[in-house]
Homo-oligomer: A and B are copies of this chain.
Amino acid sequence: MKRVMLTVAYDGTNYCGWQLQPNGITIEEVLNRELSSLLGEEIRVIGASRTDSGVHALGNAAVFDTDTRIPAEKLSFAMNTRLPEDIRIVGSREVPADFHPRHCDSVKTYEYRIWNHTFADPTVRLYSKFCYYNLDVDRMQRAAQDLVGTHDFASFCSAGSQATTTVRTITGLTVERDIEEPRMVRIRVRGTGFLYNMVRIIAGTLMEIGMGQREPEEMRQILEACDRAKAGPTAEPRGLTLIGIAFRPLDRTDRRSCR
């Protein structure tokens, strides 16, 4: 028996998110089905991040236990011949038997993309939110800095969250236009944990500031209010991509934090 971690990329457009659910197809369901078929065992993956319906990922993670003799590193290639082309395994490796991707220290990086132009572009529409009004990226970047650090992010958490605390740590948050394609605005946020819809509410609030509907200085007041009603709307899922997750225990020197 060994535990294998997969790094999973997907276009979330046609999925009802990561987590198994009765009303539609999910990433977890497809992975369970194809792993079970490939390995001839009943496989149940444990995901690192249960992304919402329509959200994309370049580096989500999932672990599972298997008796297979196929080397862990080869599983990505074997799986990719079976998976639909909107899901790819972009890495696979063996991890310690007690490694759990949600019960350990990790840093997640998300990107929220906004196509900011007079007209939408059909070839980026599935992976970005369209915004007609000109965004002042400097204002957005200034406001974003008030979110960096350890705070109570209750204002940026949708109802329905099961979190016991709304305190989280954002270690980095940047708002930039692409150098080569300045019509694309990217909000990049990195942190050790995120509340339900937190990145999308941050994106929705930053967009209001970028459009001039709010002042950058309001961000601090919104944060301190600990009231979801004070923040902006939840920006639509298609703009959000989970870029990657770094797990601290996997560099063996610090494994205790994982258990």
Task: Please tell me if the beta carbons of A120 and B88 are within 8 angstroms of each other in the complex.
Answer: yes
Task: Please tell me if the beta carbons of B56 and A88 are within 8 angstroms of each other in the complex.
Answer: no
CB-CB contacts of A105-136 with B at 8 A, as 1s and 0s? Answer: 00000000000001111110111000000000
A123 touches which of B56, B80, B118, B180 (Cβ 8 Å): B56
Task: Please tell me if the beta carbons of B178 and A86 are within 8 angstroms of each other in the complex.
Answer: no
Tell me the count of chain A residues lying within 8 A, CB to CB, of chain B.
27
Whole-angstrom distance between the alpha carbons of A11 and B241 in the complex?
20
Q: Could you list 16 further interchain pairs (A-B, Cβ under 8 angstroms) beyond the known A9-B119, A87-B122, A88-B122?
A: A10-B122, A11-B123, A11-B125, A56-B123, A58-B121, A58-B123, A80-B119, A85-B120, A85-B125, A88-B119, A88-B120, A88-B121, A90-B119, A123-B126, A126-B126, A178-B180
Which B residue sits closest to A86, measured CB to CB? B122
Q: Does A206 contact B (CB under 8 A)?
A: no
Instruction: Chain B residues near A58: list those with CB within 8 A.
Output: 121, 123
Instruction: Chain B residues near A123: list those with CB within 8 A.
Output: 9, 11, 56, 58, 126-127, 241
Q: Name which of A119, A123, A127, A180 has the most chain B CB atoms within 10 A of its CB.
A: A123
A176 shortest CB reach to chain B, Å: 11
Which B residue sits closest to A127, measured CB to CB? B123
Q: Does A163 contact B (CB under 8 A)?
A: no
Instruction: Chain B residues near A120: list those with CB within 8 A.
Output: 80, 85, 88
| Among all A-B residue pairs, the 6 with the closest Cβ atoms | A11-B122, A90-B119, A86-B122, A88-B120, A10-B122, A11-B123
Which B residue sits closest to A117, measured CB to CB? B90
Whole-angstrom distance between the alpha carbons of A91 and B85 in the complex?
33
